[in-house]
Amino acid sequence: MTLSENITKELTELEKDTLVPMLIDLISRTNVQNRLTSKKVIKWFISRGYYVSLTRLRKMIAYTRLMNIFLPKVLMAANNGYYLTGVIKIESLKGNQKKLYT
């Protein structure tokens, strides 16, 4: 197995059944003023006895997005952390703005 295969492997049962629900609970308390950095989330998991690498954290976050777990809110990622928001605006190529309520 190469390093790449090891890093990008599917979520384990522990991750799906235990860590993702913990992550969902943690992220559910966020908003634009109360963001969570990856570093804080990793430290939070470690304080509860679970080692989570940055790569595995990103994999779990991708899983929550894929499964639309936070609907109707949207999980956003910025340089200064992850947070949930309710409405996002997307400017189309023609310059029209559309509001997405997800």
Task: Specify the fold of 12-101.
Answer: Arc Repressor Mutant, subunit A (1.10.10)
Reported as a single tens digit per residue, the pLDDT across 28-83 is 999 889 999 999 999 999 999 999 999 999 999 999 999 999 888 889 999 999 99
Reported as a single tens digit per residue, the pLDDT across 63-75 is 999 999 988 888 9
Which residue bears the tokens 């936070």?
A: 70
The model's pTM: 0.76
Dist CA 26 CA 36 (whole Å): 9
Give domain limits for the chain. 12-101
Dist CA 38 CA 82 (whole Å): 8
